[in-house]
Structure 1
Amino acid sequence: MKCRRKLAYGRKSLISFSLISAVMVPNAAIFATPPRTPDKTVNCEILVVGGGLSGAATAYEGLLAGRTVCLTEITDWLGGQISSQGTSALDERPTQRALQFYSRGYLELRNRIERKYGELNPGDCWVSDSCFLPRDAHNILSEILKDAEKRGKGKLNWFPNTVIKDLEISADGKIINSAIAIQHQPAKGAAPLNSYTLSQTIEDAYTYADSSRLTKSIIRLVPQQNPKTATKNWYVVDASETGEIIGLADVPYRLGIDALSYLEPSASSTENDPYCPQGFTYTFAMEATKDPQPQTMPPYYPQYAPYFSYELQRLANFDLVFTYRRIWSPKKGQPTKFGGVNFTASQPGDISMQNWTWGNDYRPGTAADNLIYSRQQLQSTGQLQPGGWMGGLRTEALRKGEEKSLSYYYWLVAGTTDSQLGDGVKQPQPNHRLLSGLNSPMGTASGLSKYPYMREGRRIIGRPSWGQASGFGIWEIDISRRNYNDEYYRNTLPADMYRQLRAALAGLEATSVITGQIDPDKALRRTRSTIFPDSVGIGHYAIDFHPCMTETPPEKPGNTERAGERRGAGQAYPFQIALRAMIPQKIDNLIVGGKSIATSHIAAAAYRVHSFEWSAGAAAGTVAAFALKNAIAPYELVDDLPKYEPQLEALKRLLKENGNPTAFPDTSIFNQKWEDWK
């Protein structure tokens, strides 16, 4: 053990958590005095920001480790993707699913879904082996965390309808000392929560003052004092959907497209472009009915109608689209087939959740309409100033995403146009109704999900590491199954970059390629993902793109997807979650989970699905509890790699013993059989 690890956070970051200094490092987020004294102060050992799957998994492992966990969430539902974002269809790969090779908490989630309905797929959908109602997902996760709290003798402080407004960061910029949160509830005489869409309330939610709609409570979240050592240690975990805390704390991150390189050879641009992340989606639920229903055209429908399409001829069938993510089916229909896909026909009473690329995806790709503000935009809008944080999102983009989703519903039931396939393809389907209201599957008056499904947010740049002096990251070539033999890569990449690419993919022959002893095109391409010595979790999914659009506004007639964005799409090998991808630069007690780990734009297209989010959250919760117990900062677990790190190995053993795998079966540099994983 290194001597410095005997300190609470090591000599590299030694500082009292109670220190408050007026002298701050440049660009560090600082604590702004709220307009009134906080209504309460709450002690936490692990502060988790974001109640999605990654945040729930972090809390789950923290509670089982006996820790006091504070969990904040902007909506009133736990679960993110499977609840408040409405994408309650588990994205899984066949081999991993067949082997049930998942984190223990994710397995418990799947088991409880099956127990709730008596089957894993009550929707009889065909996109997944499990489609279910979003409102039930929140209830299931709530019970899972309650049971974990009881079993592990931890304590959960749950803060729904809560946002982080400010951070107090130490004078040297290395420690988050406290956070100020704003929790809201309906003002006296106002409509219940979820009566308004997110675009109508988000700016209010981040404002200290009460309003005609919302009454606010100001909460100061601080480290819990250790009674044995008198130290005040805690960890903050950014499990938010957009990388909110890394934006607020102003740690280095990427957003959108990464520039072309041998690590990202399918990139669509030779320069970084923060304004073209993947599209986001407001999902909604609709029900099949026996009789035609009255349908009201939204006033803004003509603006968005030119965008909508079934996309491909083999998908141009309403029943196929409806059953794709059908989340409830009380009576199974007759087996049918279209475009090579087998499914059961929809029946009255069936409920479908809609999440469609050329439907309710909203895909802005310019600085004039992007949703997630870049660092430059955060600076120009004053959000990096004390008290200026407003969530880091463009409200207008949220509003237009909401309008587009409701317009897509109208297109499904009444539309007769198709932007990609032409006239005569789309037929009206009036025997359906939008499910809206506070008791609807989405739990909102509008019928839209409480929060949009986010496929990509801010992604940290890890700390400098061997082989990646500019900061650790997981890149396209670390996971992609593409062989890169086609002429595009030979002709597009500069010769030196192409040789670097082939060397990086050559596995055991890499040195011979670099030195010129083997022709790059003749080197054997490894058939597995990169193996990370600091892996703390796993995932497997295809590299799946919902690209931004070329022009603004994205619904502009004749608009096209950004050229080259789908080039990197395709199958991926089973992959790992490196601990270095979860450790940001600058701040030592911040851990990143979920979609904001250090991945590239292309790799992020696979590192975003349900089981990955849980695995990353399980790792974050375990790392935080391990660091608190052993008085070691997470970065100290990996700062001597590739040398042997005994504490890192102890952490990995703990993860494995707890049923949280860090590698797929038979992972080895000598195992070249990963093509069998489907």
Structure 2
Amino acid sequence: MGRELHADIVITGGSLGGVAAALSAASAGKKVIMTEDTHWIGGQLTNQAVPPDEHMWIEQFGCTASYRELRNRLRNYYKNNFPVTEKARSNTFLNPGNGWVGRICHEPRAALAIINDMLAPYVHSGRLTILTRYKLTAAETSGDEITSVTVRNLDHGNEYVLTAPYFLDATECGDLLPISGTEYVTGSESISQTGEMHALPGDPDPMDMQAVTWCFAMDYIEGEDHTIEKPKDYDFWREYQADFWPVKHLSWQILRPATLDVRDMVLFPSNTMDSLWGYRQILDKDNFLPGTFDSSVTLVNWPQNDYWLGPIFDVSEEEAKRHLEGARQVSLSLLYWMQTEAPTRDGKIGYPGLRLRGDIVGTEDGLAMQPYIRESRRIKAEFTVLEQHVGTEMRNGKAAEEFKDSVGIGAYRIDLHPSTGNRNYVDISSLPFQIPLGSLIPVRMNNLLAACKNIGTTHITNGCYRLHPVEWNIGETAGYAAAYCLNNNISPRELRNTDKHLSAFQLQLRQQGFELEWPQVVKQ
């Protein structure tokens, strides 16, 4: 047995929600331990290398104050540390990459720097301990409570036994749930289970999960040859075409998610067609003085490197490894195809000047530290958000459901990528929504809170509750909720179901810069 460490709150997983939970719990005066499998904390924003997906009002409202601080610090990181142009410096809403997927596309390592700065006061004071490269391996329980978790270092094998009154699961796949015996669901529910219009018409399929994507960063140095070694599975991916997909996987053609129409794309910006390069461009060299960067940089998280041939959790270790390697291989194959065989805009073949930028994602092999995981195990919660609560079509002209126990707000389309059950996109309109506290609370466990994408949603509603500002809000809420319960000697269930405590907690959240309902202008 490893050395024992004790805290007020243990957070398993350094996801984006985990980071927000650590920040809120430590700022509330609690001693916190957070663990993380990889070298970088920050989840989808850093070690998965996904620049923010956000709603249209994000610059004005619709997130917590600390998430807004994160965004503001990111802009200032470039303005204060780089030779930016005067135009960029004077732009209040600077988008470092000018990617068109969002309003603040940036490098993963920049986000890591800001996250570390935000957490630094608590790390330096000893209130927050961060254990990177530590993987969750076991949990001990007593009745309906977790008493300890064990984590093992992935490099040297050292173990810690972590004890605390409260545990937050902020792992990307909800890893604490099965280990602790906490009730959870996976995959796709059926219409008969949930009544959702877009749920499965037949039986539920726990193994039907959204594709994962192993992202990578690349730049382009024209006239140079940066072609990688031919990936071992390239021949398979070069010819692969899913039964539900009208074109080959490696192609400049993709589908429009909402209509499933084929859409022609090009790599570099064009006057007539949409550019894949510009989609998630995370560094625009034109924002900086001439000579600062040799090339702009883009982040490849495209339909062409989505991997849907099988799930990566709740399967055998051997199968999980096979699918993780498959996700790596399709990304490497996409790059190799672009370098060697892809049609170019001038009628030639291949862009050998495309260069993997492992330095940007913190790896030697050039791919992100882990794949972008869109869908986690989800707790069986006190309250589960359904399509009926937030789906535009199912609301029949009404605003989204109002939740008495709201702890935040979010907005995004219900955006489901092709899945391991061979289902195509489900991309439908949803309404600006609230985050109910009940979705963070398990039906049985008393001292566990969900703190990221593992809350009580369905396969369908996960599609709009999984994005950056919402995950941050969920994690930040979990940290404050655990601290409030400790201070008042109550359980999260009592917090939610006792009016005086719920009102006091919601007031505390407002004082910390949370928005618990959407402005009337959005509801109209």
The answer to whether TM tops 0.5 is yes
Structure 1 equivalent of residue 246 of structure 2: none
Aligned equivalent of 1:28: none
**Alpha-carbon offset, residue 430 of structure 1:** 2.4
1:90 matched to 2:64: no
Within the alignment, does 1:241 sit opposite 2:172 as a pair? Answer: yes
Select 1:218's aligned residue among 151, 159, 182.
Answer: 159
Aligned to 2:128: 156
Q: Is the 8 A contact 2:285 2:294 kept in 1?
A: no
**8 Å contact 1:315–1:321 — kept in the other structure?**
no
Match of 1:104 in 2: 65
- Please identify the structure whose Cα radius of gyration is greater: 1
Q: Distance in 2 between the 1:675 and 1:410 partners?
A: 47
Secondary structure, counterpart of 2:374 in structure 1:
coil
Letter in 1 for 2:188: I
| Alignment deviations for residues 326-372 of structure 1 (CA, whole Å, 9 cap, x no partner) | 11122269xxxxxxxxxxxxx95111110012x111113xxxx3212
Alignment-derived partner of residue 361 in structure 1: 306
* 1:457 equivalent in structure 2: 376
- Determine the C-alpha separation between the residues in 2 that align with 1:222 and 1:549: 37
Write out aligned runs for 1:305-320 (5 A).
305-306=238-239, 307-309=249-251, 310-312=253-255, 314-319=263-268, 320=275
Whole-angstrom distance in 1 between the partners of 2:377 and 2:446: 18
Supply the AA of the counterpart residue of 1:257: S
The structure 1 residue matched to 2:366, chosen from 447, 471, 474, is: 447
Contact 2:343–2:350 (8 Å) recurs in 1:
no
Q: Which of residues 328, 343, 351 is equivalent to 1:402?
A: 328
Q: Is the partner of 2:129 in helix, strand or coil?
A: strand
Give runs of aligned pairs for residues 202-601 of structure 1, distance below 5 A.
Answer: 215-223=156-164, 234-261=165-192, 263-295=195-227, 296-306=229-239, 307-309=249-251, 310-312=253-255, 314-319=263-268, 320-331=275-286, 348-357=294-303, 359-364=304-309, 369-373=310-314, 377=315, 394-416=320-342, 427-436=349-358, 440-463=359-382, 472-482=383-393, 505=395, 525-549=396-420, 561-562=422-423, 565-567=424-426, 569-601=427-459
Which letter does structure 2 place at the counterpart of 1:456? E
- Residues 75 and 450, structure 1, Cα contact 8 Å, conserved in 2: yes
Contact 1:580 1:638 in 2 (8 A): yes
> 2: distance between equivalents of 1:168 and 1:549?
32
Determine what percentage of the aligned residue pairs are the same residue.
30
Is the Cα contact below 8 Å between 2:62 and 2:410 reproduced in 1? Answer: no
Other structure's SS at 1:617 match: helix
CA contact (8 A) 1:45 1:67 kept: yes
Gaps of 5+ in 1: 1-36, 186-214, 224-233, 334-346, 382-389, 419-423, 464-471, 484-504, 506-524, 551-560, 667-672
- Write the distance in 2 (CA, Å) between the matches of 1:662 and 1:539: 10
Q: Which residue of 2 aligns with 1:493?
A: none
What TM-score do you get using the length of structure 2 for normalisation? 0.87
Q: CA deviation at 1:288?
A: 1.1
Deviation at 1:425, TM superposition (A): 9.7
Which of residues 148, 172, 189 is equivalent to 1:178? 148
Aligned 8 A contact 2:40 2:112 in 1:
yes
Cα drift, residue 417 of structure 1: 7.8
CA RMSD of aligned residues (A): 2.3
Q: Any conservation in 1 of the 2:62–2:409 contact (CA below 8 Å)?
A: no
Q: Partner letter of residue 442 of structure 2?
A: P
User: Distance in 2 between the 1:426 and 1:534 partners?
Assistant: 59
Take 2:61 and 2:224, find their aligned partners in 1: how far apart are those partners? 43
C-alpha spacing 1:154/1:475, structure 2 compared with 1 (3 Å):
farther
* Contact 1:63/1:154 (8 A) holds in 2: no
Q: Measured at CA, do residues 216 and 615 of structure 1 come closer, stay the same or move farther in structure 2, by a change above 3 Å? A: same
Tell me the residue number matched to 1:197.
none
**TM-score between the two structures when normalised by the length of structure 1:** 0.68
C-alpha contact 1:528 1:674 (8 A) present in aligned 2: no
Deviations 1:212-240 (A, max 9, x none): xxx111111112xxxxxxxxxx2100011
- Which residue type is aligned with residue 577 of structure 1? I
Cα distance in structure 2, aligned partners of 1:79 and 1:62: 16
Supply the AA of the counterpart residue of 2:117: E
Counterpart-to-counterpart distance in 1, 2:171 and 2:447: 16
**Distance of 1:165 and 1:426 partners within structure 2:** 51
The DSSP-based 3-state class of the residue aligned with 1:433 is strand
1:501 is matched with none
Does the 8 A contact of 2:311 with 2:420 survive in 1?
no
Q: Which amino acid aligns with 1:647?
A: H
Match of 1:665 in 2: 519
Aligned to 1:70: 33
**Which one-letter code corresponds to 1:360 in the other structure?**
N
Structure 1 position 101, deviation (Å): 3.1
Q: Quick check: 2:380–2:442 contact (8 Å CA) kept in 1?
A: yes
* Whole-angstrom distance in 2 between the partners of 1:73 and 1:332: 34
User: Is the Cα contact below 8 Å between 2:485 and 2:495 reproduced in 1?
Assistant: no
| Contact 1:443–1:450 (Cα < 8 Å) also in 2 | yes
Deviates more, 1:59-68 or 1:312-321: 312-321
Are the equivalent residues in 2 in contact too, given 1:64–1:154 (CA < 8 A)? Answer: no
CA contact (8 A) 1:74 1:162 kept: yes
Alignment partners' CA distance in 1, 2:298 and 2:59: 25
Deviation at 1:254, TM superposition (A): 1.5
SS in 1 for 2:218: strand
CA shift, 1:431, in A, is: 2.5
- Residue deviations 1:92-136, cap 9 Å, x none? 1112x1313311211111011011012642212111111111122
| Aligned mates of 2:374, 2:115 — CA distance in 1 | 21
- The alignment partner of 1:299 has SS state of coil
Alpha-carbon separation, structure 2, partners of 1:235 and 1:393: 33
- Is the contact between residue 86 and residue 453 of structure 1 (CA under 8 Å) also seen in structure 2? yes
Label 1:305 to 1:633 Cα distance change in 2 as closer, same or farther (>3 A).
same
Structure 2 alignment gaps of length 5 or more: 80-87, 89-93, 240-248, 256-261, 269-274
Aligned residue pair count: 482
* CA distance, structure 2, for counterparts of residue 462 and residue 658 of structure 1: 25
Contact 1:247–1:458, Cα closer than 8 Å, also in 2: no
The aligned amino acid for 2:373 is: M
Distance 1:67 1:267 in 2: 41
Taking the aligned partners of 2:232 and 2:371, their CA distance within structure 1 comes to 22
Kept after mapping to 1: 8 A contact 2:140/2:180? no
Which of 583-592 and 525-534 deviates more?
A: 525-534
Deviations 1:401-435 (A, max 9, x none): 111111111122223489xxxxx999522221122
From 140, 143, 147, give the equivalent of 2:114. Answer: 140
Distance in 1, matches of 2:519 and 2:456, equals: 24
Cα distance in 1 for residues equivalent to 2:485 and 2:29: 13
Q: Could you tell me whether the CA contact under 8 Å between 2:342 and 2:351 is conserved in 1?
A: no
CA–CA distance in 1 between the matches of 2:128 and 2:284?
Answer: 35
> Aligned letter for 1:91?
D
In the other structure, the counterpart of 1:555 is none
1:585 CA drift (Å): 2.4
1:76 Cα deviation after fit? 1.2
8 Å CA contact retained: 1:62, 1:154: no
